Amino acid sequence: MKRSIIQFQIIESDGGYVAEGVNVPIVTQGDTLDELTENIREAVGLFVEDEDLSELGFATTPSVLVNFELSTLVHA
């Protein structure tokens, strides 16, 4: 079965954000979440450029899912 989602995990890092691909070998960063979003789009575009997505194990038009990890919550 072909995967229909390209997934990223986002963490805060040094005043910015880092997105690491969960099921793709992609890592990108941005100073803001908006910048990171654009960088993810660009990185995914470059990753799939001139590739046969089925050979990479993906459906023809996969979605991008982003998970954001919150820092540890402090309870009062």
- What is the domain-level CATH number for residue 48? 3.30.2390.10
Residue 25 domain flag: yes
Mean pLDDT over all residues of the chain? 91
Record the tokens describing residue 25, joined without a space: 């070998």
- Provide the domain limits for residue 39: 3-68
pLDDT tens profile 32-68: 999 999 999 999 999 999 999 899 899 988 999 999 8
Residue 48 domain flag: yes
Across residues 8-36, what is the average pLDDT? Answer: 95
Record the tokens describing residue 22, joined without a space: 């969960």
Closest CA to 18 of 74, 65, 66, 72: 66
Asked if the model's pLDDT at residue 74 lies above 80, the reply is no
pTM to 2 decimals? Answer: 0.86
Q: How many domains does the chain have?
A: 1
Report the distance separating Cα 72 and Cα 63, nearest Å.
29
The whole-number pLDDT of residue 69 equals 78
Report the distance separating Cα 10 and Cα 71, nearest Å.
11
Q: Tell me the percentage of the chain whose pLDDT exceeds 90.
A: 66
